[in-house]
Chain A
Amino acid sequence: MTTRLMLARSLAGVAIGAWALLAGPAGAQTIPQTPAEVARPGGMLPGDPKIALVKVADGFNDPVGVASAFDGSGRLFVVERVGRVKIVDRDGSVQAEPFLDLTKSNPLGTEVQTVFVEQGLWAIAFHPKFKENGYVFASFASVPFNGANLIVRFTVDPASPNQITSEQLNKSAKVIMNIPQPYYNHYGGKILFGPDGYLYVGKGDAGWEGDPLDAGQNLGKLWGKMLRINVDSHGAYAIPKDNPFVVASQDRMMSLFGITEEGFSKIKLGLRPEIWAYGLRNPWQFAFDQKTGDLWIGDVGQNHWEEIDWQPRSSRGGENYGWKHNQASHCHPTLSANDKCAIVGVLPVAEYPHQEPYPGAPRLKDGWGCSVTGLGVANYAGMTGVFIAGDWCSGRVWGVGWDKANDKWQMQELLHTALQFTGGNYDEDGSILAVNCYCFYTDDKGATNNPPGALWRIVAADQVPAGAETAKTRSR
């Protein structure tokens, strides 16, 4: 582990510079090189956009995700933590029968572990060629595998487009990944197809607090990572040949002499080649910019700071986002207002504090949250490439974007709602969808007994349809 740490640190110094150069032409986004360049609340996005949340549908049990099949049907698929997916039709009506129901397909009981509020069915993702192949992927905590994170592919029968029956579910199920989980929190959960056609899997550091397994920095583990796999292969999955650690992790003939030190430093046996990026605590929700292909990750922080990471489409992966040495641009553990520590790896582009930014700090009244839920990247409503994130604890909605005129990242509080945001994704027209639940830890009565959650669409504030219900907001 020490060797890997040293390797990671030595590479980090080189890498920070390299990733800064990736950004492109002058005026384009750059990765912050110092904490001072990381955006915090209080900024203003170009154009000072105004948004509203319009309710699309409600009555869901603990909704934690949403997805479109991008098949032209206009259907929206809302993921219920208990293990069901409900279809919302274009007119906003919710179909009575679930599209997918993992609670009834196993005669011995539900497939989905929901005992703890962070457990359940978290996400579905439709294959980029769903219209032809009918493949849909689900990520959930498994009962039979004692809480392990299963990613399973199911095939929709074209004769039954709105419902995968139990029979079809079991017949077509192909397990893509089965990742054990030692603790009941910090699973990650979101899965998304990237613009490159690969499946990206966000994995939390496997839980408890403080990353006791040192998972974030451990390149031999899948926890604490963003993974990238090719699901269009004969086996469960294949490793994309341009994943950052493919070559480094390959076994090879041993050569004791005749290789440079630089050459030796590129050999990293035992690394998991599925890894795209590491040093993440709990990348619960992440999103690709549909226009540029850039990747945004909302990495949930611990006691003091929430982190929003960005990488351009041109990234070759391998970024270390610093957990557990850093939490956003700060030291972990955070001890005081004046902590000193090395910045490990790549800084986030934006961060926001909890109510108490360091132990004993004056408590903030505004501009704080405690759990970032990435929703999507807005390329409408007066915004270009603005990452929208809701906060699970405070109900705030943030926008993070590049301010070309001032050559810096900006973070602006767009709304303060009363909602507990759990997830987000895109509709077919590129508008950002969000779901909320009433399922906080000590409030949890179980995945079907909490007050119902809803599905919302982010629109420009002056584009709210007449008579539409919008989320309550309070002025800042």
Chain B
Amino acid sequence: MRQRARPRSTATYVGRLLLPVTIIVVASATASGAGIQFRSAFDDSPLDVSPKAGETLSPAVQIFHQTGRNPYRDDDQAIAGGKRLYMMWCQGCHNPDANGRIGPSLIGDSYLYDRVATDVGMFEIIYGGAAGAMQSFKPRMSQDEMLRIIAYVRSLKQSAAAR
């Protein structure tokens, strides 16, 4: 993970301090078997979110698996990384403003798949694929990168709403 000399915001700084603490809490929760059951957007079949060969699940991904909360949501640095990834992988179909063209809008009032309203749902589509041209991006990127992309897309919706 890239480290900055000075975090952009206090929230991010505090968030990073809390992360190790949260992981300890999460680890004990894992032991008890709790966690999100991820399901395919195509047919609701269960998704296996264990790391692929050579991938280590980042702390953020572990929190996400347990709680469904995306720790990168208010993390400016993660969002900046998510933007780079979005522009590389997603904008071709979903447009730079994420309002869709070939692919559906990711920021509108209603989504093609209702579950996209939650980060778990958006993740399920990126990770597990949906149909046709929206195939699983699991071979293309890590789960951590997916969470960053999601954080970026959500920040677009907030900006759009703010205007």
Q: Footprint of B on A, CB under 8 Å?
A: 303, 354-356, 363, 365, 369-370, 391-396, 416-421, 438, 440-443, 445, 451, 472-474
* Complex partner residue of A393 from B102, B105, B139, CB under 8 angstroms: B102
- Distance from A192 Cβ to chain B, minimum over Cβ atoms (Å): 25
Inter-chain contact B132/A355, CB cutoff 8 Å: no
Inter-chain contact B132/A363, CB cutoff 8 Å: no
- Distance from B163 Cβ to chain A, minimum over Cβ atoms (Å): 17
Query: In the complex where A355-B104, A393-B133 touch, is A365 in contact with B112 (Cβ < 8 A)?
Result: yes
* Closest partner residue, chain B, to A472 (CB atom): B43
CA distance A381 to B90 in the complex (A): 39
Q: Assess whether B129 is interfacial by the CB under 8 Å rule.
A: yes
Inter-chain contact B131/A417, CB cutoff 8 Å: yes
Chain B residues contacting A356 (CB-CB under 8 Å) are: 100-101
Chain A residues contacting B133 (CB-CB under 8 Å) are: 370, 392-394, 420, 440, 443
Convert B73-111 into 0s and 1s, putting 1 for each residue whose CB lies closer than 8 angstroms to a CB of A: 000000000000000111111000000111111001010
- Distance from B19 Cβ to chain A, minimum over Cβ atoms (Å): 32
* Complex partner residue of B42 from A363, A391, A474, CB under 8 angstroms: A474
- Distance from B109 Cβ to chain A, minimum over Cβ atoms (Å): 10
Q: Tally of A-B residue pairs with Cβ under 8 A?
A: 70
Q: Assess whether B156 is interfacial by the CB under 8 Å rule.
A: no
* Closest partner residue, chain A, to B140 (CB atom): A443
Inter-chain contact A418/B132, CB cutoff 8 Å: yes
Interface residues in B30-49 by Cβ distance below 8 A to A read: 42-43
* Closest partner residue, chain A, to B130 (CB atom): A418
CA distance A442 to B96 in the complex (A): 13
Chain B residues contacting A396 (CB-CB under 8 Å) are: 132
Q: List 14 A-B contacts (CB under 8 A).
A: A303-B101, A363-B110, A370-B133, A391-B132, A392-B132, A393-B103, A417-B131, A418-B129, A419-B132, A441-B92, A442-B90, A443-B89, A472-B43, A474-B42
Q: Assess whether B56 is interfacial by the CB under 8 Å rule.
A: no
Chain A residues contacting B43 (CB-CB under 8 Å) are: 472-474
CA distance A418 to B130 in the complex (A): 7
Inter-chain contact A418/B102, CB cutoff 8 Å: no
Rank and list the top 9 A-B pairs by shortest CB-CB distance, nearest first.
A442-B92, A395-B131, A395-B132, A440-B133, A394-B132, A393-B133, A418-B131, A393-B132, A418-B42
Q: Assess whether B135 is interfacial by the CB under 8 Å rule.
A: yes
Chain A residues contacting B102 (CB-CB under 8 Å) are: 354, 370, 393
CA distance A368 to B129 in the complex (A): 18
Inter-chain contact B93/A363, CB cutoff 8 Å: no
Chain B residues contacting A472 (CB-CB under 8 Å) are: 42-43
Chain B residues contacting A370 (CB-CB under 8 Å) are: 102, 133
Query: What 11 new A-B contacts, CB under 8 Å, besides A418-B129, A420-B133?
Result: A363-B100, A363-B105, A392-B133, A394-B132, A418-B135, A421-B132, A441-B92, A442-B90, A451-B135, A451-B139, A474-B43
CA distance A417 to B135 in the complex (A): 12
CA distance A329 to B130 in the complex (A): 30
Query: In the complex where A363-B110, A442-B89 touch, is A394 in contact with B131 (Cβ < 8 A)?
Result: yes
Chain B residues contacting A393 (CB-CB under 8 Å) are: 102-103, 132-133
* Closest partner residue, chain B, to A451 (CB atom): B139
CA distance A445 to B88 in the complex (A): 12
Chain B residues contacting A391 (CB-CB under 8 Å) are: 132
Chain A residues contacting B104 (CB-CB under 8 Å) are: 355, 363
- Distance from A439 Cβ to chain B, minimum over Cβ atoms (Å): 9
* Closest partner residue, chain B, to A442 (CB atom): B92
Query: In the complex where A392-B133, A418-B42 touch, is A355 in contact with B112 (Cβ < 8 A)?
Result: yes
* Closest partner residue, chain B, to A369 (CB atom): B132
Chain A residues contacting B130 (CB-CB under 8 Å) are: 418
Chain A residues contacting B89 (CB-CB under 8 Å) are: 442-443
Q: Determine which residue in A303, A442, A473, A474 has the highest number of CB atoms from chain B within 10 A of its CB, and name it.
A: A442
* Closest partner residue, chain A, to B93 (CB atom): A442
Chain B residues contacting A421 (CB-CB under 8 Å) are: 132
Chain A residues contacting B105 (CB-CB under 8 Å) are: 363
Q: Determine which residue in B105, B108, B137, B139 has the highest number of CB atoms from chain A within 10 A of its CB, and name it.
A: B139
CA distance A394 to B101 in the complex (A): 13
* Closest partner residue, chain B, to A354 (CB atom): B102
Query: In the complex where A363-B112, A395-B132, A451-B135 touch, is A440 in contact with B93 (Cβ < 8 A)?
Result: yes
* Closest partner residue, chain B, to A366 (CB atom): B112
CA distance A50 to B113 in the complex (A): 25
* Complex partner residue of A474 from B93, B131, B137, CB under 8 angstroms: B131
Chain A residues contacting B42 (CB-CB under 8 Å) are: 418, 472, 474
* Closest partner residue, chain B, to A416 (CB atom): B131
Convert B6-44 into 0s and 1s, putting 1 for each residue whose CB lies closer than 8 angstroms to a CB of A: 000000000000000000000000000000000000110
- Distance from A414 Cβ to chain B, minimum over Cβ atoms (Å): 15
* Closest partner residue, chain B, to A303 (CB atom): B101
- Distance from A305 Cβ to chain B, minimum over Cβ atoms (Å): 14
CA distance A416 to B133 in the complex (A): 13
Chain A residues contacting B131 (CB-CB under 8 Å) are: 394-395, 416-419, 474
Inter-chain contact B132/A420, CB cutoff 8 Å: yes
CA distance A10 to B137 in the complex (A): 51
